[in-house]
Structure 1
Amino acid sequence: MWARRPSWHAAFDLGVKFTFAQGHRASVIHSPQHRANNFDALRLLAAVLVIWSHQFALMGRPTPLIFGNEPGALGVVLFFAISGYLVTQSWVADPHVRRFAARRALRIWPGLTALVLLSVFVLGPLLTELSVPQYFSHKATWQHLLNLVLQTQIGLPGIFASNPHPGSLNGPLWTIPIEVGCYAALALVGWLGLMRWRWFPLCVFLALAGLLQWRYSAWPHPEWSFALQYAMIFAVGSALSRWESIWLEHPWVTAGLLLAACSLLYKFGPSPFNGQSPLIALAGLGVVWGACCTPVINRAGRFGDFSYGLYIYGFAVQQIIIWGAANQLSFGVAFVLSIIGALFCAALSWHFVEKPALRWKPQRVLEK
């Protein structure tokens, strides 16, 4: 049942075997129209929700639930909904498979590659309890490089042995393959011409929602349910993108209707579908608010788009702080230090890795 799906924190335990899974996160820097909006702020909020949720689990504490969902799950929902919305806009603006694939790859892999190489060749040797020769001769050390080909490996040998979650370094990476899978699916249906029909993303959403209701607890591998769930959320964002010309003129009317519909579904809908309604509502409301332009908030990205780096580095920073303090810090202090440390890493990643890589993005050539 959806209402009894696996714990969010169980997801990074599944990550060792998971070959798809964002946060990751929304992978388009801005909408093709380049209009001011709230998406930068919303992505930062999503990353902070994920870090906050992880803080409980990594310190060995029970995680609070919001409408039956852990905060980290809500953050990932926001990432996927925003991604579905903006990446669909990117495809519609330039429906060219190779250019689309290049843009997506340049947003995902440079930051991911830097993190994985830093983890294996710097953090691992510094943090492991093994000798350096033992560390580099261990199979798990080199398996961590499989993250670069979307075969999720979250741990390294001999690290954080005294932490409540020993061995784990890059927990959030389980969402990256799901995100890339959504990109590939969008490119395929776009190449087939199906994205010209604005009803298509809505039909995909309804099909995935029905499939999850029918088979949620019956998949042979639990991670399949996670993949389908976040693909459904991606489809919510994609559907809103295709119908943007209608709802963007009256966004708060749209938000009210979405909230009312999901509230009715939560109260009166069939189980287990009603358990998914808060996530669908959050996805829709997030996109609607993100597309708006709120003074001050719309300038959240003026120093750079730090949300991806915040998302992928936050877990490692948290583990290092917990390990360094022998898990003796208060929750609040550990969380604040984790945010500061992750923001520092995210800023470095953006300015020295991600932003330079984006200069190679292919541009559409307009034919005369």
Structure 2
Amino acid sequence: MNVGRTDLSFRQNNFDLIRIGAATQVLLVHSLRHLQLDFPGWNSLLSYFPGVPVFFGISGYLISASLERSPTWQHYCRNRLLRIFPGLWGLLLTTGLVLWWLHPAQLFTFEGGLWFISQGFGLIYTPAFLADFGFGSYNGSIWTIPIELQFYTLLPIGYQLISKTNHKRGNWQLVGWWLFFVVFAMGKALYRPGATIFNESTFEKLLRYTFMPHIYLFLTGVVAQRWKLHRWQWIRGKGLYWLAFTSLFWTVWGTTTLGPIVQSILLVLSSISLAYTVPTLADRLLKGNDISYGVYMYHGLLLNVLVTMNLLHQGAYLWVVFVGSYVAGYLSWRLVEKPFLRWKSVNRSAQRANSAMLYEQTPPGR
């Protein structure tokens, strides 16, 4: 593995703030649907900036940099596990308490125990005995966690398949893989236009839970990081222009068959550009508190509580989910995620001892 030189222009960014925006978009879309609220006029704007593509793209950008700076594969794996699982386990503990309160049936059976343990390993699914809890999925937002774990596993393998002696050649090989998966995503869209999660076949549902339909977004971030887009003049400081162009594209072509794929790629590039537009903004506003993961995870659980209690059709309940998710996200960050992330600190002596460079002048990740 490689430890790249420090690049402050890379490290100082607004990704924490952008992830909160993405999590809030997902929260609002899910809340309006599951609380059965009348869609307000601003609802259409939410479709312009879907949160999940942003998460996948930013993940590829930052995790590839993290891999490149890690002195060993073990270090990389440890950091990834520390980022995902403590927060997930905190959510599962909270979920168990909620189910014990509202839906205890079968929770303490063998099937319930097996389900609970499997969730702790990131094998997210809703068992039959929870099909009538809330809106039918015990937490519909965390389906992305198995996808992220697949990305984390495949990335080191992919790096072994590209050139280690010629950085430029390796970059072009990554572009080739990116194009392959973009074509795959487009072929899938053209094969059955108009397919959604509400009318998909069993095969399409299984495919959705694999990396295949989504990895082009992750690779968009990887390629952007490898080509150091944060230094490019037409990216750095141009976030509002990219956002305007992405919005214009969605207005004109968003409802076409291939429009959402292209728009998602543009949205990833817009997110990277925004991250390096007034790049100190996130630090000034958030003071280092990265609550996006908790907001994203807990809003689904809060929605299920409200739906189970039949608290629907009133705008006040949207505020309950909004405020509750932000409070839960903050508590998750302060009490669970941040304490575990302290273990991610890089062993400096191991870095100095590891003089072999995988790639030259690679910027550090997070």
**Structure 1 match to 2:295:** 310
Aligned counterparts of 1:265 and 1:306: Cα–Cα separation in 2: 29
**Is the contact between residue 62 and residue 225 of structure 2 (CA under 8 Å) also seen in structure 1?**
yes
Question: Per the alignment, do residues 211 and 262 of structure 1 end up closer, same or farther by CA in structure 2, a change over 3 Å counting?
Answer: farther
**Structure 2 match to 1:94:** 70
* Equivalent position amino acid for 1:38 in 2: N
Aligned counterparts of 2:100 and 2:264: Cα–Cα separation in 1: 40
Question: Per the alignment, do residues 262 and 171 of structure 1 end up closer, same or farther by CA in structure 2, a change over 3 Å counting?
Answer: closer
Which of residues 215, 226, 238 is equivalent to 2:188?
215
* Equivalent position amino acid for 1:320 in 2: V
Aligned counterparts of 2:286 and 2:18: Cα–Cα separation in 1: 10
* Equivalent position amino acid for 1:230 in 2: H
Alpha-carbon displacement from aligned partner over 1:153-209 (angstroms, at most 9, x marks no partner): 246846875x5x14x332122110111111111111223454741223322221101
Aligned counterparts of 1:203 and 1:230: Cα–Cα separation in 2: 16
Aligned counterparts of 1:265 and 1:335: Cα–Cα separation in 2: 27
Query: What is the deviation of 1:352?
Result: 1.6
Bigger shift: 171-180 or 208-217? 208-217
Which of residues 107, 128, 140 is equivalent to 2:103?
128
Query: What is the deviation of 1:246?
Result: 7.2
Aligned counterparts of 1:40 and 1:228: Cα–Cα separation in 2: 26
Aligned counterparts of 2:340 and 2:250: Cα–Cα separation in 1: 44
Higher relative contact order (CA 8 A, sep 6+): 2
Query: What is the deviation of 1:63?
Result: 7.0
Which of residues 339, 346, 357 is equivalent to 1:363?
346
Report the TM-score when normalising by structure 1. 0.76
Q: How do 1:26-175 residues align onto structure 2 when only pairs under 5 Å count?
A: 33=8, 35-60=11-36, 71=47, 74-94=50-70, 96-120=72-96, 122-128=97-103, 130=105, 134-137=106-109, 139-140=111-112, 142-154=114-126, 157=129, 163=134, 165-166=135-136, 168-175=137-144
**Structure 2 match to 1:184:** 153
SS in 2 for 1:200: helix
Aligned counterparts of 1:201 and 1:258: Cα–Cα separation in 2: 25
Aligned counterparts of 2:62 and 2:121: Cα–Cα separation in 1: 24
* Equivalent position amino acid for 1:366 in 2: R
SS in 2 for 1:304: coil
Which of residues 278, 281, 305 is equivalent to 2:263?
278
Count of aligned pairs between the two proteins: 329
Alpha-carbon displacement from aligned partner over 1:276-317 (angstroms, at most 9, x marks no partner): 211111111111111333554443431511111111111101
**Structure 1 match to 2:218:** 234
Aligned counterparts of 1:339 and 1:64: Cα–Cα separation in 2: 16
Question: Per the alignment, do residues 183 and 69 of structure 1 end up closer, same or farther by CA in structure 2, a change over 3 Å counting?
Answer: farther
Bigger shift: 78-87 or 207-216? 207-216
Aligned counterparts of 2:107 and 2:236: Cα–Cα separation in 1: 55
SS in 2 for 1:292: coil
Question: Per the alignment, do residues 245 and 231 of structure 1 end up closer, same or farther by CA in structure 2, a change over 3 Å counting?
Answer: closer
Aligned counterparts of 1:318 and 1:223: Cα–Cα separation in 2: 25
* Equivalent position amino acid for 1:301 in 2: L
SS in 1 for 2:212: helix
Aligned counterparts of 2:246 and 2:132: Cα–Cα separation in 1: 46
Q: How do 1:243-258 residues align onto structure 2 when only pairs under 5 Å count?
A: 243-244=227-228, 247-251=231-235
**Structure 2 match to 1:224:** 207
Bigger shift: 288-297 or 352-361? 288-297
Which of residues 321, 346, 365 is equivalent to 2:329?
346
Question: Per the alignment, do residues 212 and 262 of structure 1 end up closer, same or farther by CA in structure 2, a change over 3 Å counting?
Answer: farther
* Equivalent position amino acid for 2:57 in 1: A
- For structure 1, the 5+ residue unaligned runs are 1-30
Bigger shift: 186-195 or 170-179? 186-195
Bigger shift: 292-301 or 253-262? 253-262
- For structure 2, the 5+ residue unaligned runs are 1-5, 193-200, 356-366
Question: Per the alignment, do residues 230 and 32 of structure 1 end up closer, same or farther by CA in structure 2, a change over 3 Å counting?
Answer: farther
Query: What is the deviation of 1:62?
Result: 7.7
**Is the contact between residue 80 and residue 152 of structure 2 (CA under 8 Å) also seen in structure 1?**
yes
SS in 2 for 1:293: coil
Report the TM-score when normalising by structure 2. 0.76
